[in-house]
Amino acid sequence: MGGSRSAPNPLLAGQVAIVTGAGRGVGRDIALLLAAHGACVLVNDLGASASGDGHDSGPAAAVAKEIEEAGGDAVSNSASVTEFANAEAMVSQAIERFGRLDIIVNNAGILRDSIFHKMSEADWDSVIAVHLKGSFNLARAAAPVLRAQGSGRMIHMTSNSGLIGNFGQANYIAAKLGIAGLSRAVALDMARFNVTSNVVAPQAWSRLIGVIPTETEEERTRVERFKQMTPGKIANLVVALAADAAQHITGQIFVCRGNEIHLMSQPRPVRSFARSDGWEPETILTSAFPAMQDALTPLERSNDVFGWDAI
């Protein structure tokens, strides 16, 4: 994938985007495709390992250079999204360089997987800090700018692990499901200013997916499926959500896997029961719970729900 502007009338001409975690994988392809459709891009990436260790400005700088060599306009930033001041500085940098800000894509992430009863506080805190707090930081830093101009797009990355479930990822699941809630709240609060907020759960091969254990045949098959799903497919959905024509799409959750796009349900009552004389623990156990039994959500993982090979 390249960052050239191939369309005669670019979909995002004159717009400015910030993409976090854009030095590699899904974020890189998002930054390149935004640029290919006419957006100026601030490419942010700490350049850390998949677990969040280290700092290298090289990945962000390389993607910004790739965009510029293809005829686009980009600038790099290698600050951590975990600090609110860094998010404010990104917004200021984008405005100083390009004159405005229209789109933010909260893509930065790390993994520190561990079965729950062995998970350390440090591993919990670090994953929450990058995914959930990092998403809040950039969204909150950008909000006053987007509010003042009366337009904007916020696109955040959730995960099927967060929406459905997985083993050994309590920190990641909590952060990713929290991002879905954050996006919904932002969509409600910012709708009056014509600012949209949506989340995308990407299924694509990346270095984070590359740390999934492959000790069993089932795990090896799962990883091989992921390898067939390239990051560029996610970028197409992100660009579409960033377009002016998607103004009416907000507060939604999408899953993108291969050539499939799924609009996900959001929590709503599935069964309701009431008693005019109220409930006691015993009547809940003997009446309400049995009546709800066939509507209970099973303990499933992402692969149980999306059990077919992606198209």
Residue 209: CA count within 13 A, CB half-sphere: 24
Beta strand pairing status for 260-263 and 253-257?
antiparallel
Q: Which position has the token pair 């929290």?
A: 178
Candidate list 124, 136, 172, 226, residue with the active-site label = 172
User: Annotated catalytic, 254?
Assistant: no
Note whether 171 and 118 are within 8 A (CB). Answer: no
Of 127, 138, 139, 207, nearest to 175 by C-alpha is: 127
Contacts of 66 (CB under 8 A, 6+ apart): 2, 3, 32
Per DSSP, what are the bridge partners of residue 146? none
Please report, for residues 42, 135, 223, 255, the alpha-carbon distance to residue 260 in angstroms, rounded to integers and kept in the order given: 28, 25, 18, 8
Note whether 211 and 239 are within 8 A (CB). Answer: no
Note whether 210 and 199 are within 8 A (CB). Answer: no
Hey, what are 16's tokens?
């400015």
Note whether 134 and 82 are within 8 A (CB). Answer: yes
Contacts of 259 (CB under 8 A, 6+ apart): 233, 310, 311
Note whether 24 and 82 are within 8 A (CB). Answer: no
Written as one letter, the residue type at 76 is S
Active centre residues (catalytic): 172
